[in-house]
Amino acid sequence: MRSLLALGISLLFIPLYGQMVNPQITGKLKKWHKIELIFNGPEVDEMDEYNPFLNYRLDVTFLNGDERFTVPGFFAADGRAEESSATGGNIWKVRFTPNKEGEWKYSVSFKKGERAAVSKNLQELTSVRNLDGLSGVFEVGANDKTGLDNRAKGRLQYVGKPYLQYAESGEYFIKVGVDAPENLLGYEDFDAPTNVKGFLKSWQPHADDFPVDANAYTWKNGKGKNLMGAIHYLASEGLNVFSFLTFNVDGDDRNVYPYLLKVSTEEYEKYANVKDNLHSWDSLFYQTRLDVSKLEQWERIFAFAETRGMFLHFKTHETETDHLMDNGSFGDQTKLYYRELIARFSHHLALNWNLGEENNQPIEEVLKVAEYIQSIDPYHHHMVIHTFPNKDDRYASLIGDQSPLTGASLQLSHPDFIDVHDRVLKWRKASLDSGKPWALAVDEPGKANIALLPDDEDPEHHLARSNALWGTLMAGGYGVEWYFGYASPNSDLTCEDFRSRDKFWDQNKHALTFFKKHIPFYEMEPLDERTMDKKSYCFGKLGEIYVVYLMQDQKTTSIDLGDEGDKYAVQWYDPRKGGGLLNGNLTTINSNGFTNLGKAPYDELMDWVVLIKKVK
């Protein structure tokens, strides 16, 4: 039925294949906006014997002066599969986000042949008639976005520093948000959902959070609203990142995958519910055949998130799945998987590719994947690997110019988060010593069963705030994503209500506000040795500005500002309540060796942030 619907729509929607026509160019032709080139190509189906995903290769090169991007394309069924659930059609697409105004030239490479999509030798492939070799131009105008929308800030890029930077606004990025639930995309509104272990989500608690301006992103008469409501809620709380697995068929959930099933959803659920480890995924899935309509529905969610300023954390594997494709080695299944993710989603402006949560592949295989992604991702997005807690030395050989990786996604394990600060410092020093500073994030702090508890179990979140949130930022990490553990309601797998930790989101927002509003954090470095005690964190730029984080019960400390006799202003910031900068009992101090910072404005036994700025 889906194939017949696809055929009917495709005949109405586009001219017959075979005519020499330029692609249709859609979207707002503006800087940083998604532009789609839509081709009337070969009429195929997801399940054709001649595999349309593996045996066709569409690439478009875009040129504007010195700017050059070669962007992979993809099979899009009837061009509206998110609405029609079509499995076949003759629409092929390329998605591009230009970084420059003016005239863009494009040239098309459209080939076919055995393994064309993953082949290194394009000379052995056959041209797709009337499309291979097409060229043309289009004009891109000025960007018109403001506010939270990522398009107002441009592409978020690794720039050889510990912080990522937006290309348009020039601002450096700090992220605070959620690492859970990892099965965020296991959602009943996507096509062909499965409900292994009862983990399928409706996101019903966020139904009332859906904003009316997001109706254009829904599909099939309003589907997608609840998940968009959840994302809108996160943004309204000041958070700016969420993460998700894109493939977890052998993991804890088993409901998220981009592929077509070989069996019915009922048969898959029955099998996956009773097997401890699937391993035989090749008997359940077509490993090189994508579910086009589901992926287009994912795109609707990501496109909406873009408007809310969200960073998309693509977790492409977990430890239970990184051995499945090509039996854990680097081969065609792995190549096609990443090519399809990049073709369909790399146009988004703020994201990273995470090569594996708790990755356990041989390092040489990880390196092959990283080099492949670098070779086909036109935008060279931030690329990271997720570490095992206390086993991260195995990744040391990936630091520096030895790999294309630009950071790490750190996992920790102490229930009180006391391991966070030192671990970030360790990785920061190692990457700085290599000559290639990594952008480091703590994306799973805490003990596996506890992690970030719900508000009703830990309403104050003192340890998470002090040791993990500020512990990361004061060590030079660029952000934190919060794991929810597995032993509490709204856990890493069962969460459908982000309000379960509502009280803590404000504390994240306060930290983000301080770093963005009050300090040039991107010019600063950890300087813990500058304080007299071992409990405080210190972060600063020598001779100009310092931030000291005082722990609970600490009351005060002394800081070494040098002995030049310069005058420094002292102000206090409440990390629990936020607000403006406040005065303590000392408003100025002089640099004369170790100098006491004085007392807080109130609640002296609580944790405080002290800002010390040179008076010029």
pLDDT mean values, one per 10 residues, the chain (616 residues): 33 39 93 98 98 98 98 98 98 98 98 97 93 97 97 98 98 98 98 97 98 97 98 98 96 95 95 78 93 98 98 96 91 98 98 93 95 98 92 90 97 97 98 98 97 98 98 98 97 98 98 98 98 95 98 97 96 98 98 96 98 96
Burial code of 205-229, b = ≥16 C-beta within 10 A, e = fewer?
bbeebbbeebeebbbeeebbbbbbb
The Cα 520–Cα 572 span in angstroms is: 17
Q: Which of 243, 232, 239 lies closest to 185, judged by CA?
A: 243
Q: Is residue 270 part of a domain?
A: no
Are residues 369 and 486 located together in one domain of the fold?
A: yes
Q: Is residue 151 part of a domain?
A: no
Q: Is residue 128 part of a domain?
A: yes
The confidence score (pLDDT) of residue 277 equals 67
Residue 532's domain comprises 525-614
What 394-398 contacts at long range (C-beta under 8 Å, 24+ apart), as own/partner pairs, is 394/363, 395/363, 396/430, 397/363, 398/363, 398/366, 398/367, 398/370
The Cα 480–Cα 409 span in angstroms is: 9
Are residues 567 and 529 located together in one domain of the fold?
A: yes
Are residues 344 and 197 located together in one domain of the fold?
A: yes
Are residues 225 and 367 located together in one domain of the fold?
A: yes
List the CATH number of the domain containing 187: 3.20.20.80
Alpha helix positions (H), 139-264: 225-236
Burial code of 405-433, b = ≥16 C-beta within 10 A, e = fewer?
bbbbbbbbbbeebebbbebbbebbebbee
Q: Is residue 531 part of a domain?
A: yes
Specify the DSSP class assigned to residue 453: -
The confidence score (pLDDT) of residue 279 equals 63
Q: With contact defined as beta carbons under 8 Å apart, do 469 and 504 qualify?
A: no
| Residue where a domain terminates, one of 518, 553, 586 | 518
The confidence score (pLDDT) of residue 392 equals 83
Are residues 196 and 75 located together in one domain of the fold?
A: no
Are residues 489 and 384 located together in one domain of the fold?
A: yes
Q: Which residues have CB under 8 Å from 321's CB, separation 6+?
A: 247, 248, 249, 250, 251
Q: What is the token pair recorded at 111? A: 């080939």
Q: What is the token pair recorded at 430? A: 């190692």
The Cα 67–Cα 102 span in angstroms is: 11
The Cα 382–Cα 156 span in angstroms is: 8
Are residues 322 and 375 located together in one domain of the fold?
A: yes
Q: Is residue 538 part of a domain?
A: yes
Are residues 350 and 402 located together in one domain of the fold?
A: yes
Q: Is residue 334 part of a domain?
A: yes
Domain count within the chain: 3
Q: Which of 161, 139, 100, 86 lies closest to 428, judged by CA?
A: 161
Q: What is the token pair recorded at 454? A: 């719900």
Q: Which of 556, 559, 525 lies closest to 542, judged by CA?
A: 525
| Residue where a domain terminates, one of 518, 549, 577 | 518
Q: Is residue 451 part of a domain?
A: yes
Specify the DSSP class assigned to residue 390: T
Residue type, 361: Q
Are residues 431 and 557 located together in one domain of the fold?
A: no
The confidence score (pLDDT) of residue 10 equals 33
Q: With contact defined as beta carbons under 8 Å apart, do 58 and 39 qualify?
A: yes
The Cα 94–Cα 100 span in angstroms is: 18
Q: With contact defined as beta carbons under 8 Å apart, do 95 and 36 qualify?
A: yes
3-state secondary structure of 533: coil
Write the DSSP string, 250-307. Answer: TSSS----SEEESS-HHHHHHHHHH-S----GGGTEEEEEE-HHHHHHHHHHHHHHHH
The Cα 277–Cα 264 span in angstroms is: 19
List the CATH number of the domain containing 67: 2.60.40.10
Residue type, 563: D
Measured N-to-C along each axis, helices 292-307 and 225-236 cross at an angle, to the nearest 10 degrees, of 30
Q: Is residue 150 part of a domain?
A: no
For 336, the enclosing helix (H) or strand (E) is helix 332-345
Are residues 443 and 530 located together in one domain of the fold?
A: no
- HSE, CB side, 13 Å, CA atoms: give it for residue 505: 16
Are residues 439 and 535 located together in one domain of the fold?
A: no
Are residues 532 and 506 located together in one domain of the fold?
A: no
